[in-house]
Amino acid sequence: MWLIAGTAKRHCKGTTQNSLSVHCVLYFLLLHLHLCSSCPSICVCSSTEADCGGHDLITLPALSLLPSTIQTLLLPNNHFTSLPASAFVNLSSLVRLDLSNNYLDNLPAHVFAELANLTDLSLRNNSLTALDRDLLQGLGSLQRLDVSLNGLGTVPLGLLEHQHGLTWLSLAGNRLQALNRAAFEPLENLQHLELGSNPWECDCNLRDFKNWMEWLIYRGGYVDAVECTLPKDLRGRDIRTVPVEMFNYCLQLDSENGGGAGGTKGGSIPCARATTAPLPETAVVQSESEPVDCARQRYRPVSVRRAIGTVVIAGVVCGIVCIMMVAAAAYGCIYASLMAKYQRELKKRQPLMGDAEAEADSEEKQISSVA
Ligand SMILES: *[C@@H]1O[C@H](CO)[C@@H](O)[C@H](O)[C@H]1NC(C)=O
Ligand SMILES: *[C@@H]1O[C@H](CO)[C@@H](O)[C@H](O)[C@H]1NC(C)=O
Ligand SMILES: *[C@@H]1O[C@H](CO)[C@@H](O)[C@H](O)[C@H]1NC(C)=O
């Protein structure tokens, strides 16, 4: 402030003679008010916080006026549609930045690059459809990131690469159908993850992410809800309640496609995504008259075919076993009756033979006694 007063005085010395004129006083006061408050006229500032929210602004206020020690900058509820790449270059002391409830539809890749101390960034309720993979580069202290209520279709690989300190992340209310597990693996300290209100497709593309999510929960983390939109049979169901065995066919699919590269290639064909899910109970229970969607078209006939195949094989095996048993029983019966008959005949004949011998013996005795 004394510096400002000094410059004002120097200015006044140049323009007037011995005493301060009215012009000088005014100049001094203006300069004093303007620079000492160091706050864009529309904002409300304290020593560490500037609140410029709720003014329907279309362009950023003069942020260069803010003191270099400012820690919180609130810009919500305005009408920003884009930000200049240099918007925050001299605000490296920022800890919290709120850009929620605006109309931002894209962000320059390195707009936050200087904000090494930022821990809390909110981009909630904007119109972002994509994020540059370098957007968070330089944000080495980030702990909370809110990108909910936007139009994001993907989370690019690399976006979260250096976010080891991130503990809270919301991606709720976007247009996400699948997420790449590899994109989330760097988040080793994540505690809270919001994924609700997205059109999740619970097929092979989400399987690895489901596994990662289960690991996160096992570690004590929280995930709100991941309700499936597709396939139809799983609509409204949380993917965490879908048994992992339901995704076993993905391995088969991977090998059929000849490994990972083929798998991702197949994923770009709309119908190839939700293929051959072995959902026997749904396949049997639901009627054929329902509208056939992409996913069903593929996996249902296969499961039905499989079921028919199983029944046929079981029938054939059962038939063979039955025939063999009948044959064995018949053979046993015939053998037993033949043996019984033979035995009976043998018994009938044996006493006769015994009598004959006895007669012969007695005859011999009689002969010998005669002799
Ligand atoms: C940032 O600060 C530097 C030096 O302090 C200055 O030259 C530059 O114009 C400022 N940039 C912005 C965008 O305020
Ligand atoms: C960032 O935070 C560290 C530690 O709190 C502090 O020493 C440093 O001055 C801060 N950087 C800026 C630009 O404020
Ligand atoms: C989103 O932002 C718009 C425009 O600022 C606002 O009208 C709307 O109420 C906000 N919605 C939510 C859920 O915050």
Question: How far, in Å, is the centroid of ligand 2 from the Cα of 160?
Answer: 22
Which atom of ligand 2 is least distant from the CA of 69? 14
> CA 132 to CA 111: how far, in whole Å?
11
> CA 209 to CA 213: how far, in whole Å?
6
- Encode pLDDT of 231-241 as tens digits: 888 888 888 88
| Per-residue pLDDT, 119 | 96
Give yes or no for residue 208 having a pLDDT over 60.
yes
| Per-residue pLDDT, 159 | 94
- Encode pLDDT of 31-88 as tens digits: 444 444 478 999 999 889 999 999 999 999 988 888 888 999 999 999 999 999 999 9
Residue 28 to residues 24, 33, 225, Cα–Cα distance (Å): 6, 8, 59
| Per-residue pLDDT, 258 | 58
Q: How does strand 49-51 pair with strand 44-45?
A: antiparallel
How would residue 172 be classed by pLDDT, with cut points 50, 70 and 90?
Answer: very high
* Contact in structure between 135 and 161 (CB atoms under 8 Å): no
Among protein residues, the one with the nearest Cα to ligand 3's atom 8 is 101
> CB-hemisphere CA count at 13 Å for 146?
16
Q: Is the dihedral of CA 360, 365, 368, 369 positive or negative?
A: negative
Q: Which residue has the higher pLDDT, 308 or 278?
A: 308
* Contact in structure between 39 and 63 (CB atoms under 8 Å): no
Ligand nearest to the CA of 77: 3
| Per-residue pLDDT, 357 | 46
Residue 93 Cβ < 6 Å to ligand 2? yes
- CA triplet 28, 29, 30: central angle to 5 degrees? 95
Burial 303-341 (b: 16+ CB within 10 A, else e): beeeeeeeeeeeeeeeeeeeeeeeeeeeeeeeeeeeeee
Residue 126 Cβ < 6 Å to ligand 3? no
* Contact in structure between 83 and 58 (CB atoms under 8 Å): no
| Per-residue pLDDT, 112 | 94
| Per-residue pLDDT, 243 | 79
Question: How far, in Å, is the centroid of ligand 3 from the Cα of 98?
Answer: 14
Give yes or no for residue 190 having a pLDDT over 50.
yes
Which atom of ligand 2 is least distant from the CA of 92? 13
Among protein residues, the one with the nearest Cα to ligand 3's atom 2 is 101
Least confident of 63-77, 162-176, 189-203, 305-319: 305-319
DSSP for residue 153: -
Residue 286 Cβ < 6 Å to ligand 2? no
Determine what percent of the chain is predicted with pLDDT higher than 70: 69
Residue 92 Cβ < 6 Å to ligand 2? yes
| Per-residue pLDDT, 324 | 87
Q: Which residue has the higher pLDDT, 289 or 258?
A: 258
Candidates 66, 117, 142: which one to mutate for ligand 2, based on the most atoms within 8 Å of Cβ?
117
Give yes or no for residue 364 having a pLDDT over 70.
no
How would residue 350 be classed by pLDDT, with cut points 50, 70 and 90?
Answer: low
DSSP for residue 287: -
Q: Which residue has the higher pLDDT, 63 or 169?
A: 169
Give the amino acid at 207.
R
Measure the CA dihedral 329/335/337/338, to 10°. 160
For 65, residues 6+ apart whose C-beta sits below 8 A from its C-beta are 35, 38, 39, 40
Q: Which residue has the higher pLDDT, 337 or 91?
A: 91
Two structure tokens written together for 155: 């989370």
Can you spell out the DSSP letters for 58-108? SS---GGGS-TT--EEE--SS------TTTTTT-TT-SEEE--SS------
Give yes or no for residue 264 having a pLDDT over 50.
no
Candidates 90, 91, 110: which one to mutate for ligand 1, based on the most atoms within 8 Å of Cβ?
90
Which atom of ligand 1 is least distant from the CA of 63? 14
Two structure tokens written together for 345: 């005949």
| Per-residue pLDDT, 318 | 74
- Encode pLDDT of 130-157 as tens digits: 999 999 999 999 999 999 999 999 999 9
Measure the CA dihedral 94/95/100/102, to 10°. 10
Among protein residues, the one with the nearest Cα to ligand 3's atom 7 is 101
Please, where are the H alpha helices in the chain? 2-15, 22-37, 181-184, 204-218, 248-256, 260-267, 270-273, 280-285, 294-370
How would residue 255 be classed by pLDDT, with cut points 50, 70 and 90?
Answer: confident
How would residue 349 be classed by pLDDT, with cut points 50, 70 and 90?
Answer: low
| Per-residue pLDDT, 306 | 63
pTM: predicted TM-score of the whole model, two decimal places: 0.64
Average pLDDT over residues 280-295: 38
Residue 205 Cβ < 6 Å to ligand 3? no
- Encode pLDDT of 288-329 as tens digits: 333 333 333 334 444 545 666 677 777 788 788 878 888 888
| Mean pLDDT for the chain overall | 75
| Per-residue pLDDT, 237 | 83
Question: How far, in Å, is the centroid of ligand 3 from the Cα of 74?
Answer: 16
Ligand nearest to the CA of 55: 3
Give yes or no for residue 275 having a pLDDT over 90.
no
